[in-house]
Amino acid sequence: MSDLIPIFKLLHNKKSIILTGAGISCNAGIPDFRSSSGLYVKAINNSKLKGKEVFDVSILQTGAENVAVFAQFMNDLYLDIQQAQPTATHRFIDDLITKEGTTGCIRCYTQNIDDLEPTKDKVVQLHGNMTRMKCTSCGVQKPWDSNTHKTLSEGYLPPCESCLETQELRILSGKRSASYQVGAMKPDIILYGEFNHQHAENTLNCVKQDLKSNPDILLIMGTSLKVHGVKNLVKMFAKKIHTKKLGKIVIVNKEKLKGWEGIIDEHIEMDCDSFVNCYNSWRDSLKPVVRKASPAVRISKLSTPPSTPTKQRVKDFLAVTPSSTLSSSSSPRSRRTSKAPLTPSSTPTSGRKRVGIDQSMVLNTPTKRSRTIPSRSNVLKKLEAQAA
């Protein structure tokens, strides 16, 4: 833990940029792209395609069979995403983004397309967003609905209604319909080989603005940094941040990356949620202790199993504790995290600092959105009911 404290201080007291990848959503139940159980493997099931080809724009021009693989895979992925909830890492980033004052996270760049970020303000979705559909021709956007689900599950991309209207008007006005190409609706994500000028310009404007803001730390979380454009983003921020005496480029990832000497200063080989739990524990330790736990609190802890959802634990706690004994600066969460044994071990290695941790020492709290998690069958039933 002591190795992590200088990093925690930078995150808490200075301006940060955060860059995230699939690793932060794995604990939400969304598989990553490249692992043996990842999205690529799932995508090529029962097809002759290679995993990456499902995310390449050329798949849309290689025949109905491949379009069907793309459509059905995207529909499955959408249903997975509907059941996923933000993790402790999503909440940690959100807390830093909404932190009052001039410190905190000034921008989060994410490669994820799951739209799990609680706050969209100051978040740049580098590769788009699975929860919207977009026309391949005119660019019109629309939310995912029951017809989208039905058409994709049958292996087709829905035609763009806006393009169809334009085509009809052209026919009515005597223009040749063949000269107008009706687009198809596909998820609003950036595929390999696809270039979205407007999207790229927006990202570039954000980067320019962030470089001017003089960030102190770039925190990279849950990514193996394989995408060319993302590598360049890291290098640009590193160049700027390294002009500061205390500036740091830090990565939290389960596996150490190679080839980043002189650019990434600290490799923390750890699950992202575990890192966040350590940070929360450290941050909570900064708060002054207002009072000791009353006997009533101890009773409530004993009577409530640790696996009970947080909301229920708070409810149980309130049921046995008089409201007058509660202090605003001593929330149930801060009490819980401050008592947890969260001290990781550290393992220095040659050349570059690596931080290890005993996973059994980490309180790994599942994170829930306030709404009830729909089961896959419930999501399907809802979409089918809308279609009926």
Catalytic residues, which ones? 127
Which CB, 26 or 160, lies closer to Zn ion? Answer: 160
Task: Say which amino acid occupies 187.
Answer: P
Q: Which stretch binds Zn ion (CB under 5 A): 31-39, 93-101, 163-171, 235-243?
A: 163-171
Pairing of strands 128-135, 141-143: antiparallel
One DSSP character per residue, 164-203 reads HHHHHHHHHTT--GGGSPPPBEEEEE--BT---HHHHHHH
Site string for Zn ion, 87-126 (x = CB under 5 A): ----------------------------------------
Shortest Å distance, C-beta 354 to Zn ion: 50
Which CB, 11 or 67, lies closer to Zn ion? Answer: 67
Which CB, 41 or 140, lies closer to Zn ion? Answer: 140
Give the span between the Cα atoms of 110 and 255, in whole angstroms.
19
Give the span between the Cα atoms of 330 and 290, in whole angstroms.
7
Is 26 labelled as part of a ligand binding site?
A: no
* Single residue of 96, 106, 133, 160 touching Zn ion by CB under 5 A: 160
* Single residue of 11, 88, 124, 135 touching Zn ion by CB under 5 A: 135
Pairing of strands 217-221, 123-125: unpaired
What SS3 class is residue 16? strand
Q: How many residues bind Zn ion (CB under 5 A)?
A: 7
CB neighbours (10 Å) of residue 380? 15
Is 272 labelled as part of a ligand binding site?
A: no
Site string for Zn ion, 182-201 (x = CB under 5 A): -x------------------
Residues 6 or more apart from 108 whose CB is under 8 A from it? 17, 18, 19, 20, 93, 97, 117, 122, 123, 124
* Single residue of 1, 57, 79, 138 touching Zn ion by CB under 5 A: 138
Which CB, 16 or 148, lies closer to Zn ion? Answer: 148
Task: Say which amino acid occupies 47.
Answer: S
Is 135 labelled as part of a ligand binding site?
A: yes
Which CB, 183 or 222, lies closer to Zn ion? Answer: 183
Taking the CA atoms of residue 272, residue 274, residue 280 and residue 281 in that order, the dihedral angle to the nearest 10 degrees is: -160
Shortest Å distance, C-beta 159 to Zn ion: 8
Q: Which stretch binds Zn ion (CB under 5 A): 16-24, 176-184, 187-195, 364-372?
A: 176-184
Q: What are the two backbone dihedrals, phi and then psi, of residue 10, each rounded to the nearest 5 degrees?
A: -60, -45
* Single residue of 85, 103, 131, 137 touching Zn ion by CB under 5 A: 137
* Single residue of 30, 163, 270, 297 touching Zn ion by CB under 5 A: 163
Convert 178-191 to b/e letters by CB count within 10 Å (16 or more is b). Answer: eebebbbbbbbbbb
Is 108 labelled as part of a ligand binding site?
A: no
Closest C-alpha among 361, 220, 366 to residue 278: 361
Taking the CA atoms of residue 115, residue 121, residue 124 and residue 129 in that order, the dihedral angle to the nearest 10 degrees is: 30
The single residue listed with the structure tokens 């941790």 is 357
Which CB, 139 or 229, lies closer to Zn ion? Answer: 139
The single residue listed with the structure tokens 């200088």 is 6
Shortest Å distance, C-beta 55 to Zn ion: 22
Binding residues vs Zn ion (CB under 5 A): 135, 137-138, 160, 162-163, 183
Task: Give the annotated binding-site residues for Zn(2+).
Answer: 135, 138, 160, 163
